[in-house]
Chains A and B, each alone.
Chain A
């Protein structure tokens, strides 16, 4: 840490939730650059982890905001395949215009998010349980309806050039266009959380929901809105993958649940809510993707990747805790011990 920097900026650096995750990303990047060699750092290498990070990142940001607001949504694991199957069945199986499939998938996402949000707000059942329920319910619905309508669990879809250009092509042949959507999502959510007044609401809700409500924040509406956004983001990733790969499968999303949570937590978001940043989530997602993909560039067996991710998660949580404690005890007049 740079003790030479002015005291005030050191304090504000400590208070940033992403400080820890930035150090983590730097360490992981360095590790794989050393062991992965030039292939990892090459444009192709970067594409391999950026592509993974992009679709994960689009989901991880709204999940992170939900966690900052004190909730959790694991139903995204089913929303990704549900989104891609909806789009594929409507536009592929029935041959309707691709825009109809896209809109339908997003509407389904909004609907599932609305159900999640309403259940959480009205029943006061922990959102983990509610979305665990909808995770299975949506998975069952997707499988059942797909087989009922198409007779298979995999549907092909032919997208027109415009849809391909917007959602499913490779920039320069290697970078998925979803990377741009991810950047757009990060800018949008970054604005919402850190610059718009609504960001204050989300932070306050995660800090103390009762006080936030007493202060006049429409906590129920914000909660429902955030659930709708996370489900819609998952549906979006699903439909963009269907368009990218020209097909959709019913079971292709469960890994997003834990990967998104890991990215968010590595990114410095407090599991119990009230603290976190969009930049941190983006850095956490990158860290996860680098470990996940970077292992293939090293001489190590890829089976070790999960071990690294597990250790990384624990180290990240401990480091973020330390930074948070330092931020809490830090005052400009006193030196940090």
Chain B
């Protein structure tokens, strides 16, 4: 009987260690990928965009989605949906009417990918954050976690998909540009993130009266693959100003890192208390 019990504890310990091991191995892997590769991204220049919706239409066609029928209008906020991966919006700002494109931001440290328990949401080493249908179980935790409210779920389907911009990942690995960039004249600029930041800085320096001196996406949510040049602050362009400047997955880091210590300390403590109370009880019995 004692051997059985010992064996049992051993198996518990092994199970516990696998969980710890699994949890511990996740973080450093992502980091080394970060260092090796350069993420691709897209720079959107709102001073060039004329709101023609050519990118929206090309996107819908490329991904088998219905062509959008509504137009960007001041005062109407269009949102991405399960039928539309990107939208253009128009805002009346202190600098006149400004167009803004909304789609997945392709964060450097995406909350959706950190949230996903099957790695269906996945930050590729090329930069795009993609969704992989065969892995997804449809829990929608990515939607809870994404600060930009990007992933959209097909509630009307019995085999629902998550719809979101994937930066045309299939084209990027073939060496092509995303369809929106391909279609657009000049407002969208594709390149590695480093190039994009340099290009954005250059534009700001060249025509400072056209832009505010800040690139939206350079720091927000820990940095995003999509970068914005605009004449006004992001708050005027429908962006949620409460989105924090640092990484979202970092918010759960403390909790996840405490797991291994809990797995070691709590059982030890419990066994200790169990042993302590046991000896006291036998003493009591001896007195009887």
Bound pair: A and B? no
